[in-house]
Amino acid sequence: MAHRPFITYFIVYLTIHKISTKQPHILLIVADDYGFHDIGYHNRDFQTPNLDKLALGGVRLENYYVQPICTPTRSQLLSGRYQLKEAGYSTHAVGKWHLGFYKDDYIPTNRGFDSFFGFLTGGETYYTHYLCYDNKCGTDMRDMTHPTDAYNGTYSTTLFAEKAIDVINNHDEDKPLFLYVPFQAVHAPMEVPEKYMEPYRHINDKFRRMVACMDEAVGNITEAMTKRGFWDDTVLVFTTDNGGEIAAGGNNYPLRGWKHSLWDGGMHAVGFVHSKLIGSQMTGSATMELMHVTDWFPTLVKLAKGNLNGTKPLDGFDQWATISWIPPPEYGLPVRDAHEQTTGLNAKNLWLFNIMKDPTEQHDMSETEPGIVTKMLDKLRDYQKSAVPCVYPKPDPRSDPAKLGGFWGPWE
C-alpha cells in the first residue's frame, strides 16, 4: 500500500463515499470443484457466455486462493455469517451446505440464514438427490428444516436456480438481500440434461455440459435480479470452492495439481467480482493482488456495514479497495487451448517455487534458496503453534438415514 500513488487514495475516498449511502445486495455464488481451466475466459474451448460477460465486465481475481477441498473453503467463507443478519440483511441459502448437521444447531437456518433450500451433505446424485456414504444411504434435500423427496427427478442446477429466483422475487425491496448460492455443479457424478449437448456435439464431455447448465443458471439468477431492479446495487462474488477434480472432468491447466492437492491447481482458484459499485476504470480488468477465500467475510461484512467486533480473530482482510481500485497489472496467466495437465507425484515433500515467475510450478528452488525455505518453515511452525488439530470422529451409527425416515439429517 505504501507505494501507491496519491490518485489511488483519492479514488478510494470517492468509492467509499458512494457505497456508504446504501447497503448493497450481495449475491455469493460458489461452484463446486470448478477448475481454473474450466471457464471461457481461461479456455476458449469452454462456452460460458454468462460467466464470461460478468467476469469481463467485472474484476477477475487472478491471484486468488481457496483451500484444496470443499468444507474448509466453505467454513472460511461463512464463519460468523450472523454478522450480516445483524446488519439488517435478509439472508438466504440455496444449494449445498456441507458445514455439519449432526444436530439441529448446525443446520443453515440455525446458523444465520432466514431460509434454506438444498442439501446438507457434500455430494449426491443430481436428479434423485441420493447419497450412499459408509454403507448408509438416503435422500438429501431440504426445504427450510423439512426433508423432502418432492424433487426426485428434478435436476439440481435448474432447481437451485429456480429456488434462488423465488427468493429474489419474494424479497422485500426495502431490505438488503444476502443470497448465497453454492451450486452442486460441477461436482461428480457427471449427470446433465440432454439439452446442454448442443455446443458440444463434437465431443462426448458431460463435464462441459454441466458447466454450460451452471452458466445458464447464473444468467437466469442475474436476470431475475435485474428484472426486480436490484442489479445496479448488487455485488456479485463468484468463486470455486477448490481446484478441479481432474478424475471427474475438471481441469486446472496451466496450473499443476488437482482438488485435494497443495499444488497451485488445488487452491489457485477461479473467482471474480461483478458490480456497478466498482469504479469504471477497474471494470474489465484482472487483478494480480493476492486474495484468499478468508477475505470475503471481512470484505462483505464491511460492504454490508456490518460489525466485525463480535467475531473471533479473523485471518482475512477487507479487500474491497483492492478489488475496486488497483490498476490492472501487466502480468497474467496466459489463456490457452486445452492441453495435457501436469501431474505426477514422487517421494519428495518439500519444494520452493516463485509463483509469480513460475506459475505452473516447474522450477524447484528449494536447494538454491535454503534461506527462504528456512524462513518459510519458521513461519509455518509459528502458524502451527496456534492451529487447532482437525477432529475426525468415527462414523456415528445413529446418522444412518434408515433410522431417520430415509433422509440424511440431524440425528442428535
Ligand X SMILES: *[C@@H]1O[C@H](CO)[C@@H](O)[C@H](O)[C@H]1NC(C)=O
Q: Which residues pair with 78 in a beta bridge?
A: none
Compare residues 136 and 305 and give the one whose CB is closer to ligand X. 136
Compare residues 117 and 258 and give the one whose CB is closer to ligand X. 117
Q: Of the candidates 67, 157, 239, 399, which one interacts with ligand X according to CB under 6 A?
A: 157
Q: State in angstroms the smallest separation of the CB of 212 from ligand X.
A: 9
281: how many CB neighbours lie within 10 A of its CB?
A: 12
The answer to whether 152 contacts ligand X (rule: CB under 6 A) is yes
The answer to whether 287 contacts ligand X (rule: CB under 6 A) is no
Rounded to the nearest 5°, which phi and psi values hold at 177?
Answer: -110, 135
| 70 annotated active-site | yes
CB-neighbour burial class of residue 376 (10 A; exposed 0-12, middle 13-18, buried 19+): middle
Compare residues 106 and 127 and give the one whose CB is closer to ligand X. 127
| 137 annotated active-site | no
Residue 30 gets which letter from DSSP? Answer: E
User: What would the grid cell of residue 62 be?
Assistant: 487472478
Q: Which of 37, 42, 92, 98 is catalytic?
A: 98
Compare residues 149 and 191 and give the one whose CB is closer to ligand X. 149
Q: What is the largest CA-CA distance in the chain?
A: 65
- Binding window for ligand X (CB under 6 A); candidates: 84-92, 211-219, 335-343, 352-360: 211-219
385: how many CB neighbours lie within 10 A of its CB?
A: 6
The answer to whether 210 contacts ligand X (rule: CB under 6 A) is no
Q: Which three-class secondary structure string do you get for 257-297?
A: CCCCCCCHHHHECCEEEEECCCCCCCCCEEECCCEEHHHHH
The answer to whether 149 contacts ligand X (rule: CB under 6 A) is yes
Per-residue binding letters, 356-395, with ligand X (x by CB under 6 A): ----------------------------------------
Q: Which of 70, 129, 213, 268 is catalytic?
A: 70
CA distance 324 to 335: 23
Q: Of the candidates 220, 283, 311, 342, which one interacts with ligand X according to CB under 6 A?
A: 220
CB half-sphere exposure, 90, CA atoms < 13 A: 11
Compare residues 153 and 393 and give the one whose CB is closer to ligand X. 153
CB 252 within 8 A of CB 244: yes
CB 211 within 8 A of CB 48: yes
**Helices assigned H by DSSP within 171-250:** 206-227
Residue 84 gets which letter from DSSP? Answer: H
Q: Of the candidates 161, 192, 210, 246, which one interacts with ligand X according to CB under 6 A?
A: 161
The answer to whether 139 contacts ligand X (rule: CB under 6 A) is yes
Phi-psi region of 126 (alpha: psi -120 to 50; beta: other; left: phi over 0): alpha
- Binding window for ligand X (CB under 6 A); candidates: 71-79, 98-106, 156-164, 393-401: 156-164
Compare residues 153 and 371 and give the one whose CB is closer to ligand X. 153
- Binding window for ligand X (CB under 6 A); candidates: 152-160, 181-189, 225-233, 276-284: 152-160
Q: State in angstroms the smallest separation of the CB of 248 from ligand X.
A: 20
Of 122, 126, 160, 119, the C-alpha closest to 141 is: 119
Catalytic machinery residues: 70, 98
Could you list the residues that contact ligand X (CB under 6 A)? 128, 139, 149, 152-153, 157-158, 161, 213, 216-217, 220
